[in-house]
Structure formats: structure tokens, C-alpha cells
Structure 1
Amino acid sequence: MNVLKPNQRATVITLLERNTPLREIARITGIDRKTVRGYRDRWLAEQAHSPGVATGSEAVVTQIPPPWPPAPASVSTSLCEAHRDFIEAQLLLRRNATAIYQDLVDAHGFTAAYNSVKRFVRNLRKKQPEQFDRLSFLPGEEMQVDYGEGALTLVPGSAAAGKPRYKRPRLFVATLRYSRRSFRRVVWKSGQEVWARLHEQALRYFGGCPQYVVLDNLKEGVLKPDLYEPELNPVYAATLKHYGVVADPARVRDPNRKGTVEHAIGHTQATALKGKRFDSIEAQNEFLEHWETHWAAKRIHGTERRQVQAMFEEERAHLKALPLLGMQYFSQQVRTVCDDSCVRVDHSSYAARPAAIGSKVLVRIFERRIQILNMHGTLLRTHERAERPGSVVLPLDERVFNPSRETRSILRQAAAIGPQCSRLCELLFAIEGRVGQRKLRGIVGLARHYPAQCVEVASEQAMAQGVYSYKRVQALVERAMADAVAAMQAGSDAQPGVATQRPLTQQHSLIRDADEYADLFSQAAALKGELV
């Protein structure tokens, strides 16, 4: 209690004797109400134990202190009571006391002070304390994770520059909900892959996997917070799927859902790291592991009244087995399929078919391979990662056009026509090179309009004449075709009707015996008679 000057103390005692309320005394004197309350209690105690004694011939009179607090002559009512309905309606709109006071003055003729409104609003806002349920989980059911701040650590490279600088790294804590056994690591920077790797290290540290992991809605884990369907980061989601763990993000602004790991972070900061400094991240991680093993794990938990390590040994048997291989991490990007049916990744091109040209695809970049998926996550292609920038990973049969491949295709078509045509095309390509592909394409294209035998004969005649030209071969083919037509017409004129008549086939696997045809005709006639 503050010590007042004699004049102030006399003023307070005088006002107390007049039964003045504490609030009014504080307003008149400018003294804090708590100080006035202390002097009032001391004054009441003196009045109760010290009877008043008169001087001279006056008789001794015992002074009985008045009751405290004094009963008011009449119950005071706040001037805001007449406007209770209006004030309650404004509070439902989340308006503050200042706005309500201004509206009362402007629209309702309110004449009292602002403090009257403030006290009235404060009393209306009193709420019952919120109840929090005690959560209980089975062994191996849940793990809670979160970030905090570690102890001051020397920034790498700052000491060599002559200006040592200390900074607090990020403290990752993973706590098994049943046993309260924790895994702690500090890192300088965080990201999708770092967040996933810390989870993997925690699971390897515990020697098994829980069923669920509860996390906050930080960007490293949750890409888009949502009450019903939160969207996880792809790397984090793939890591949890690899280990068979299901993510259960806490609701936004609901840290009590993961109160166990929140308490573990506070316990680490207040007990293990308070007032400490480390020369490196490795030194701090080594200290945290030693502290967890020798102190935190051996403590008796305040709620369960059991040793943490003993509960962890009980929970260890309920954790799911770890996979044999670790997680293969990747970075995921969205790419557009270019007009050559490829996607560009790190200055190299990779085939993306069957994805359509111009469509969006997901590209997962691993250390040694590339995966191409559609936007729904279905795997389309897998390629070995190119070692040299500028590489094109595109099979020859998927290339729309390539001069070298086109030459081989034309020569295969010429070989299908005949050996003479193939020989002519090879000689023509040897003479003119890739420019002669036009002539080669024209020669093999003659087989679409004329018999292949005519093209073969014309190719032989062209080579005999030493003229390697498409037009020469075309002229020879047309001449051979005309000669053949003329020969056919001449033969039909010399023996009319002979060339057009063909002998009838008497024996064939499709021709039946005459008796079978007779039976068929008889059955058809009988069926027709029945219908009539």
C-alpha cells in the first residue's frame, strides 16, 4: 500500500467517516482505489479496537464504528439501465463502448459520462469461464508436432567476419500424445522438404509410426487451411503416405487441440534452453537429445503421475512398423505442355504424352528421375533425369517430323515396293542427300496411284538409262501403264468374249452338295405352306 501524505490521509479518513464510496473518494482525491481500500481497512481496524477517550472532565465514550460497507439510503441505478436493450443489441454487433456512448448521446439524449457506459458494458460482457475437456488417446494413436524458438546460436560465418552474431533458430518438437515422449531438433530455415524430413527423423527416432499426426496450419504442412478439407503440401502428403500416417490439422485458432506439444515447447524453452547460448546448430541438437534422454524422459509426468520413459516403453509396442526404405523427396511444379509435346524442366525437355499440347501437368523432380502427372495426380510418364542441360528426352516414334527419321521411313516404303525401287531411292539419296527427299517421296507416292509392279519396272528402266529423276520415273510408269491398257484392249479385240469369260469354279470349301441344297429348298417350301 502506498504511503500518503498527512493531508491526503486526513482527507481520505474524513471522506470515509462520511460513508463516501471508494470510487467517489478515488475520483475526488485522485488516489488509486486500491490505496483508498487499504486505508479504509486499516481505519476500520483502528475503530474496532480503539475506543474513543474524552479529555478533561468528559466521560469516556466507547465509539462503535459504523457498519462497512455502509448501507446506502437508496439503491443507485445506472443511468444506462433505461437503454439496456439498445446497448445489448449493439454489443451483439461487436461495437465497443465508445461507439455506443456516441450513439446514446446523438440519438437518445444521454447526459451521463462515458465512464458510466463503460462500466455498464463491462458488466454485460462478463461471461462464464470456458470449459476445456480432458483428451485421452490410446497408445500409438497420435503424435503432435509444432515449431517454436530455440536458444541463441552463433550464426555461421559471423565469427570469421569479426562480428559474432547470435540468432534463435526454429525449434521443431514432435510429441507422442500417450507417453509425452518428445523429439526435438533446431534448424535455421524451414520449408516443405525440411518439414517433411523432420517428421521422418522423428518417426525413426521413436522407432515406429503413429496413426495420426496433429499439426498447426503452417504453410510447410497445410497449403490451404479449410475446416472440412484442408489441402496438404504435396511433399508432406507424400511423406506421410509413405509412412502410413494420416494428417489431422487442427482448426484455425484452436491451439488447445495440440496442447501437449505446446506444453512440450514451453517446457523445453523454460527448462532446457533458458539463458543458454550455443556455438552451432549441431551443439544445440546434441544438448537437446542429451536433455531429453537423461532428464525429460525420466521425469514423473504431473498429470499421469508416471514416468515418461515407462509410458513410452508401453507405447512403443503399439507403433506401426517403419518402411524399409526412406522417403525419396522431390519438388513439385506445374508446367505447360509445349507444342513439341514436351515439358521444360531445368533447361531440358521431357516427353509428356498422352498429355495434350497446351494442357497443365504436374512435374515431380526427384534426384535422379522425373515424373509427369496430370492435375488429378495420375502418373503419365517417368524419365531418367538428364545430366546435361539442353537434353531432349523424346523417343523417335513420338517426334512429329525429323529429316533424318523421314529418310529412313521413305527408304522402308521403297523397299516394300520392290528391290529396284529401293535401289533407285538409295542411289538418289546418295547423290543429292537430304534435299532429294522430295524426289524420293514422289517416287514412293506413285505406288498409291499405279500398281507397284509398274513402279518397280519404271525404276529399273530409269537406272538403266542413268536418269535419276522423279519425273522420269513418273513418265516411265505412265508409259508402262498405257502399254498395259493397250495390250489388254488389243487382246480383247482379237478374241471377243474370251478375255471377259472366266471358268466357273466347281469345287470349293464353301460350295455344298446338291442334296443339301435340295433339303434346304424342301424345308423352306414346307415352312412357307405352314405360314399360309
Structure 2
Amino acid sequence: MRKIKDVLRLHLVGGVTSRRQLARTVGCGKSAISECLRRAAAVGLDRWETIAALDEPELERRLYPATAAPVARKPRPLPDWTKIREELARRDHQVTLSLLWTEYKAEHPDGYQYSQFVDLYRRFEKKLSVVLRQQHRAGEKVFVDFCDGIAMIDPNTGEHVPTQLFVGALGASSYTFAIATLSQELPVWLDCHVRMFEFLGGVSALTVPDNLRSGVSRPDRYEAEINPSYRELAQHYGTCVIPARIRKPRDKAKVEAAVLVAQRWILAALRHRTFYHLNELNAAIGELLDRLNDRVMRHVKQSRRALFERLDRPALKPLPSQPYEYAEWGQARVNIDYHLSVDDHFYSAPYTLTHETLWYRASHRTVELFHHGKRIGSHVRSFKKYGYTTEPSHRPASHRAHLEWTPSRLIQWGQSIGVNTAAAIEYVIRTKPHPEQGYRSALGILRLAKRFDPDRLERACEKALAIQAPSYKAIKTLLEQRMEAAPLRGAEPTTDDAAAHLGARNVRGRGYYH
């Protein structure tokens, strides 16, 4: 359903109408794209504001209500069109399409008939060596790519440090942006986009990158998948990412030309200079970039800047109020202690999701957790290795209650029954080596008030204190044997007398231990 939302956003917000482009961008089949758009139109989901307000289960319910599964039709075998074209090109034999179709039907009796066979081959033939001259609308597309930059000198070691040159070019005006980086890693790739949009002063409707690993998680001619962080950047700026096809430089010919121009007019001009810091290099690139955009292009008779001011700048979308903050997306499994690991730190999730696999978004400040597209938790980012960050509401009620137990809280609870009950609980807790060892006994005494009358419990605690045996078992025995009201045998009974009253067995008495 996340892909379906991307399809509808590209179609309704980005203005992408080509099913093939949509399929290539989100990684779905073209028929699935057509079916998705048809269903959305049928149920009246034609506004992005309405779709964005729906969660994924509701969107799925509206678009794909439960219906009987259609019977799959067995596809017909397709001929090897490349081999057929080679056979037709042979000069030593007069091979015709009719003969090749006869051979095809002999091998595949359930294959296509002759007229459809010929029609499919003609369609294949039309796709060969086709060059489309793209017409770019103002503010519609920005093309981005990397190329090798010039080497710097490490001031500490004297070694050569290679750099990369990020280049972006608008489609209508060819207005160019360039910046040097030390790598093509994901954080650098995203930061270059942030700087490019700030340089342009606006955002284009579409962004066309190469199939760089940092931008495209799984490069594929037909089903390329966009990196989650890159997709998030696109959503933040309101642009749509449509990667070029693999090994198809004509899809991004605009930036290929911009890279060539940058290499000639920027990198070549700096070839005799020595740079020791990246900021120093980018300052020099910025000066030459201004000159490049101010140069009058020979064929257009205008500069890139003049075209930009006239065409692209008025059509660009405004920048968001805050620049994009880099965040990493990943998946982690919730452990039995209802915590999951992000960069070797453990964050809590709702205990009901134990053993579930959740998506997380980790920025420099926060870690957000998602389940089926819904945000179900957020924590302040911690970089303490193997530490724990826990939200109390994520714990089960029994765990919260246990952690909330304190000696004073249990004594105060006993005070609500009576002073003797509170005194018995205080005695139980304080006679243990650690207070938590007495929590269970104290809770047992308090819960006796649910089985017996609180007044009886108060008298039983008073008697247990008098015989110096204020324990859970002693008080429980007094209540069960209805001995809380029985008179004491002496003013100061011994421990042996108390044991006799309580009916305890195998009690050796105080003298045994001397």
C-alpha cells in the first residue's frame, strides 16, 4: 500500500501520466499501475489531500474490497524477436516472416496467429534505435548525477584525496549547480540535494537521478526501488523521483551535457591549482559556476541564468520552512523485553508488538517507530552503546505496577486499612536485606483484604505484631483459623507460644539457634 500511495502522489501531485514511468519509479508492473489508477478513479479518490489523510488499511479497503480471485490465463509464448530480426537480415537465404511464423507455430502450437505475430514484430522493430528529443517544461525536471572531481592534498600526510563532483541541471534552462564531495554515500547524496534546492531557491516537480546505489535501493530496468531516505527527502520537498533507466544516458541527457560542461569550464580551469580543504575547493567551484551560468550559450543566444530567471524560477515550487534532516530507515525485530536495537541502542515499543518486525526512522535527534505505515512510538535519539530508552506506556500494566512499587507506597496502601496493617508491612519490608525482597509478602498481606474483612485483617496484624510474627503466612493462618480475636496467653508471649497459637509445625524455637 505504500507503493500505491507513491503511485497516486506521482500521478496527482507530480503530474506523471505515463504508466511505464510510474511502474519504473515505484517498482510495480505497468498493468498493476493501470489497475490502481482505474480503481482510484472508480471510487472517487482523485485528490491527493483526501488520499494522504487515509491510512494504509483504509486505502486498501477502498481500492481492493474482498472479491473472488480471477482465473489466471496462461500466457502465450513469445518468439525471440532478436533472433527473428537476425534471420530476416541474412542474405544467403530468402527468409520471410511467413516462414518464421510457420517454424514458430510448429514449436509452439498454442502461440500467436500470423497477423498478431506480424503486428508484435513490427512493434518490436519500431523500438530499435529510436531517439526522442525531450521537450522540457519550465520548472518540471532537475537532472542530477556524480562525476569524478579533482584530487586534493591532505595537509597532514601529503597524500592525494580524490573527490566527487555532484552536478544538477534544470531541464528548461540548463541552469547548473555543482559541488565537490568526498564520497557518494547516502548522507552526502541527500545533503547535495538540500544544497542544490537552496541554490535554485525552489523545487522542481520531478527529480531524475542515475541509478546510484545511494538513490536507488535496487536498480532494475523495469522495477527500480527508491531508497527510503531518498523518498522521504522527495516527500519533504514535494518533488517526485523518477530514476533514469539502467545504461540509458539519453534519459538524462541534460545532466550528461551539464557534467561535460562542468568538467570543461570548472574542473579543467582548476587543474593547475592545489587545494587542501574541501571548503576551499567548493569556494573556487562556486566562482566558476557563476561564470558558467552567466556565459551566453552559442545556440540559444542567452545565458543559463537569463533563461532560469525567465522560465524556471517562476515555475519552481517554494522551499519548505525547514531543510530536510537526514534520517536512516531500517527494520528491527521487537525482542521479548519489548525493545528493539537501533545502532546498538535499545528502544522500547508497545509490548503487544513483541516478536513483530517494525520500521524505524533514525535522525540525529529522534528515533521513530512505524507499524504497517502508522507511527506508533518516538524516542529521543541516544548514542550510548547497549543502553536502554524506555517509554513507560509501552510496558504491560503489571510491569508498570511493579516498577511503581516503593516501600512508602506499600506502607501508605496498608495505612488505608489500618495502622497495624501499615506497621506489619513496614516490618516485613525493613527486615529483609533488600526492600524489594519484601514486596511480595507485603502485597500478599494487602490482598488478604480482598478475601477477608479489612477489620479482621487489621486485628490479625495487631496480634501478629504482638507475638512478634508479622509475616504473610502467620497473618493468613490467623485469619483462616479465626484466631485474630483469641486472647493472648500472656502479656509477653514467647516465640514458642506464638508458634503454638498459630499451629505451625517444625518450629524449633529461639533456643535452638544458640
SS for the counterpart of 2:268 is coil
Change (3 A) 1:134 1:396: closer
Deviation at 1:155, TM superposition (A): 3.9
State whether residues 354 and 380 of structure 1, in contact with CA within 8 Å, keep that contact through their aligned partners in structure 2: no
Q: Distance in 1 between the 2:392 and 2:192 partners?
A: 43
State whether residues 278 and 284 of structure 1, in contact with CA within 8 Å, keep that contact through their aligned partners in structure 2: no
Deviation at 1:236, TM superposition (A): 1.4
Q: Larger deviation: 172-181 or 267-276?
A: 267-276
The one-character-per-residue Cα deviations of 1:19-44 (angstroms, maximum 9, x if unpaired) are xxxxxxxxxxxxxxxxxxxxxxxxxx
State whether residues 458 and 477 of structure 1, in contact with CA within 8 Å, keep that contact through their aligned partners in structure 2: yes
SS for the counterpart of 1:439 is helix
> What is the match of residue 447 of structure 1?
449
Deviation at 1:336, TM superposition (A): 1.7
SS for the counterpart of 2:347 is strand
Q: 2:215 aligns with which of 204, 216, 221?
A: 221
State whether residues 459 and 484 of structure 2, in contact with CA within 8 Å, keep that contact through their aligned partners in structure 1: no
Q: Larger deviation: 201-210 or 235-244?
A: 235-244
Deviation at 1:130, TM superposition (A): 3.2
1:382 and 2:403 matched: no
Q: Distance in 1 between the 2:252 and 2:446 partners?
A: 76
SS for the counterpart of 2:319 is coil
Q: 2:479 aligns with which of 452, 468, 477?
A: 477
Q: Larger deviation: 190-199 or 351-360?
A: 351-360
Change (3 A) 1:340 1:452: same
State whether residues 478 and 484 of structure 2, in contact with CA within 8 Å, keep that contact through their aligned partners in structure 1: no
Q: Larger deviation: 218-227 or 261-270?
A: 218-227
Deviation at 1:267, TM superposition (A): 1.6
State whether residues 193 and 235 of structure 1, in contact with CA within 8 Å, keep that contact through their aligned partners in structure 2: no
Deviation at 1:261, TM superposition (A): 0.6
Change (3 A) 1:216 1:424: same
Q: 1:331 aligns with which of 328, 331, 339?
A: 328
SS for the counterpart of 1:480 is coil
- Bigger radius of gyration: 1
The one-character-per-residue Cα deviations of 1:344-381 (angstroms, maximum 9, x if unpaired) are 3344322111562122122322222222223x442121
> What is the match of residue 423 of structure 2?
423
Change (3 A) 1:367 1:264: same
Deviation at 1:406, TM superposition (A): 4.4
> What is the match of residue 313 of structure 1?
309
Q: 1:464 aligns with which of 463, 466, 488?
A: 466
Q: Distance in 2 between the 1:127 and 1:437 partners?
A: 83
Q: Distance in 2 between the 1:128 and 1:450 partners?
A: 89
1:239-388 mapped onto 2 (5 Å cutoff): 239-274=233-268, 276-280=271-275, 281-294=278-291, 296-314=292-310, 315-353=312-350, 356-374=353-371, 376-386=372-382, 388=384
Q: Distance in 1 between the 2:478 and 2:161 partners?
A: 91
Q: Distance in 2 between the 1:86 and 1:456 partners?
A: 107
State whether residues 203 and 239 of structure 2, in contact with CA within 8 Å, keep that contact through their aligned partners in structure 1: yes
Q: Larger deviation: 231-240 or 456-465?
A: 456-465
Q: Distance in 2 between the 1:233 and 1:416 partners?
A: 60
Deviation at 1:330, TM superposition (A): 1.9
Deviation at 1:229, TM superposition (A): 5.5
State whether residues 454 and 481 of structure 1, in contact with CA within 8 Å, keep that contact through their aligned partners in structure 2: no
> What is the match of residue 156 of structure 1?
154
1:391 and 2:393 matched: no
Deviation at 1:445, TM superposition (A): 3.1
Deviation at 1:166, TM superposition (A): 6.2
> What is the match of residue 25 of structure 1?
none
State whether residues 222 and 232 of structure 1, in contact with CA within 8 Å, keep that contact through their aligned partners in structure 2: yes
State whether residues 217 and 226 of structure 2, in contact with CA within 8 Å, keep that contact through their aligned partners in structure 1: yes
Higher relative contact order (CA closer than 8 Å, sequence separation 6+)? 2
SS for the counterpart of 1:361 is strand
Deviation at 1:145, TM superposition (A): 0.6
Deviation at 1:131, TM superposition (A): 4.0
The AA in structure 2 aligned to 1:139 is A
Q: Distance in 2 between the 1:228 and 1:127 partners?
A: 19
The AA in structure 2 aligned to 1:154 is M
1:61-210 mapped onto 2 (5 Å cutoff): 81=91, 83-85=93-95, 130-151=129-150, 153-157=151-155, 160-161=156-157, 164-165=159-160, 167=162, 169-210=163-204
Unaligned 5+ runs, structure 1: 1-79, 91-125, 485-532
The AA in structure 2 aligned to 1:465 is I
Deviation at 1:172, TM superposition (A): 0.9
The AA in structure 1 aligned to 2:251 is R
Q: Distance in 2 between the 1:369 and 1:439 partners?
A: 42
Deviation at 1:423, TM superposition (A): 2.9
Sequence identity, in percent? 26
State whether residues 171 and 254 of structure 2, in contact with CA within 8 Å, keep that contact through their aligned partners in structure 1: yes
1:398-413 mapped onto 2 (5 Å cutoff): 398=395, 401=399, 405-407=404-406, 411=411
The AA in structure 2 aligned to 1:445 is R
Deviation at 1:458, TM superposition (A): 1.4
The one-character-per-residue Cα deviations of 1:381-409 (angstroms, maximum 9, x if unpaired) are 11112364443222456266487644557
1:481-492 mapped onto 2 (5 Å cutoff): none
Change (3 A) 1:460 1:336: same
SS for the counterpart of 2:329 is strand
Q: Distance in 2 between the 1:455 and 1:128 partners?
A: 92
The one-character-per-residue Cα deviations of 1:204-253 (angstroms, maximum 9, x if unpaired) are 00111111111111111111235666321122112121111111112223
Q: Larger deviation: 196-205 or 183-192?
A: 183-192
State whether residues 330 and 367 of structure 1, in contact with CA within 8 Å, keep that contact through their aligned partners in structure 2: yes
State whether residues 154 and 161 of structure 2, in contact with CA within 8 Å, keep that contact through their aligned partners in structure 1: no
State whether residues 415 and 422 of structure 1, in contact with CA within 8 Å, keep that contact through their aligned partners in structure 2: yes
- Using structure 1 for the length normalisation, give the TM-score: 0.61
Q: Larger deviation: 298-307 or 142-151?
A: 298-307
SS for the counterpart of 2:482 is helix
Matched positions, count: 364
The one-character-per-residue Cα deviations of 1:412-442 (angstroms, maximum 9, x if unpaired) are 6545544432332122212223333343233
The AA in structure 2 aligned to 1:476 is L
The AA in structure 2 aligned to 1:146 is D
The one-character-per-residue Cα deviations of 1:176-230 (angstroms, maximum 9, x if unpaired) are 1111110011212111111111011011001111111111111111112356663
Q: Distance in 2 between the 1:396 and 1:244 partners?
A: 36
SS for the counterpart of 1:178 is coil
Q: Distance in 2 between the 1:444 and 1:89 partners?
A: 96
> What is the match of residue 51 of structure 2?
none
The AA in structure 2 aligned to 1:264 is A
Q: Distance in 1 between the 2:92 and 2:129 partners?
A: 30
Q: Distance in 2 between the 1:278 and 1:372 partners?
A: 49
State whether residues 144 and 215 of structure 1, in contact with CA within 8 Å, keep that contact through their aligned partners in structure 2: yes
